[in-house]
């Protein structure tokens, strides 16, 4: 049976100890630079000695491969449907950094077949022991195809800009998540900031609203300036932290990665309720 097979897998993995830190990168609306942040953030974590895997979950609109200038042969859907093995759907970028393209047609966890779900658990049981950080690049907003996974990860990085509409959408997104899980850990990055004061004020208002109306706290990871180097790097299909390592925005991204790693926990024990346990709970509850 499934439970017996899963217990055997976990016993086999137990000796490997620490499991990857799972983080969903989200935004209240599109066009705020979420995927570009993910690509450059992963490089900054790599520079800190972390082994990083990105899973592109922006269904039908995923562009992580474009930002890396890479062409994946297969995607996550190919693996879940049993068409390819786990390592065939992983596209390497550099040693210690890789991504899995999402593929169109993936729906919520609750709508996956039992074999697809079993393969998900099998795959991530392995990947969580082989990487230090797994980043899930989610589609904009809280959608049917993303909320199950967002609720299962260890923590969330929300990308916004100082524009009032972006702040409003970011608050709405966090409100929706808090209504599902009041204890979720939030980090905030303000992108495309023209002036430091503007960035701080907009995030301060967002934090105040969360504290006052949601009784929720958030951590500010940092601010990224509006920089022409970002556009040039996207055109070149090279992350800006690699193409322009001495630019102001690359230095800020390095600081964001350092702040993120300061909050690193000793590691989720395989015997405790982590990412995979939450996904299993969502699946089993939905199948009721």
Quickly count: other Cβ atoms within 10 Å of residue 94's Cβ.
12
Tens-digit pLDDT profile for residues 204-233: 889 999 999 999 989 999 999 999 999 999
- As a whole number, the mean pLDDT across the chain is 85
CA distance 210 to 230: 30
If residue 221 lies in a helix (H) or strand (E), which one and from where to where? strand 218-225
- Spatial neighbors of 220 by CB under 8 A, at least 6 apart, are 187, 188, 190, 203, 207
Give pLDDT tens digits for 254-266.
999 999 999 765 4
Task: State the alpha helices, DSSP H only, in 218-266.
Answer: 228-236, 240-243, 248-262
pLDDT value at residue 238 = 97
Mean predicted confidence (pLDDT) in 171-197: 91
Question: Rounded to whole angstroms, how far apart are CA atoms 11 and 270?
Answer: 9
> What pLDDT is recorded for position 71?
92
Share of the chain above pLDDT 70, in %: 82
Rounded CA Rg of the chain: 18
- Whether the pLDDT of residue 89 is over 80: the answer is yes
DSSP, collapsed to helix, strand or coil, labels residue 92 as: strand
Q: Is the pLDDT of residue 64 over 50?
A: yes
pTM of the model: 0.88
Count of Cβ atoms closer than 10 Å to residue 74 Cβ = 17
Of residues 137 and 274, which shows the higher confidence score? 137
Q: What is the pLDDT of residue 273?
A: 44
pLDDT tens digits for range 140-178: 766 655 777 888 888 999 999 999 999 999 999 999 999
114/270 Cα distance (integer angstroms)? 22
Q: What is the mean pLDDT of residues 77-92?
A: 93
pLDDT at 268 over 50: no
- Pick the closest to residue 255 from 23, 41, 53 (CA basis): 41
Q: Is the pLDDT of residue 38 over 60?
A: yes
Report the percentage of the chain scoring pLDDT > 90. Answer: 56
Q: Can you tell me the mean pLDDT for 59-68?
A: 81
């Amino acid at each position: 049976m499934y439970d017996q097979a899963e217990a055997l897998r976990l016993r086999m993995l137990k000796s490997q100890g620490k499991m990857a830190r799972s983080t969903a990168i989200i935004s209240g609306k599109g066009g705020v630079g979420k995927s570009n942040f993910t690509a450059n953030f992963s490089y900054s974590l790599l520079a800190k000695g972390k082994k990083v895997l990105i899973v592109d979950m922006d269904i039908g609109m995923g562009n992580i491969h474009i930002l890396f200038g890479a062409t994946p042969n297969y995607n996550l859907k190919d693996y879940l449907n049993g068409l390819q093995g786990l390592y065939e759907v992983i596209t390497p970028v550099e040693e210690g950094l890789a991504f899995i393209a999402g593929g169109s047609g993936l729906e919520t966890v609750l709508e996956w077949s039992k074999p697809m779900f079993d393969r998900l658990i099998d795959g991530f049981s392995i990947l969580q022991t082989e990487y230090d950080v797994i980043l899930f690049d989610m589609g904009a907003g809280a959608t049917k195809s993303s909320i199950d996974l967002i609720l299962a990860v260890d923590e969330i990085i929300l990308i916004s800009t100082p524009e009032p509409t972006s702040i409003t959408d970011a608050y709405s997104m966090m409100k929706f998540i808090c209504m599902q899980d009041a204890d979720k850990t939030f980090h905030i990055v303000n992108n495309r900031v023209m002036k430091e004061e503007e960035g701080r004020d907009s995030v301060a208002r967002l934090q105040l609203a969360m504290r006052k109306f949601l009784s929720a706290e958030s951590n500010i990871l940092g601010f990224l300036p509006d920089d022409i180097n970002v556009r040039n790097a996207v055109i070149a299909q090279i992350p800006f932290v690699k193409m322009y390592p001495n630019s102001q925005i690359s230095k800020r991204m390095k600081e964001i990665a350092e702040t993120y790693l300061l909050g690193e926990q000793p590691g989720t024990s395989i015997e405790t309720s982590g990412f995979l346990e939450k996904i299993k709970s969502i699946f089993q509850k939905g199948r009721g």
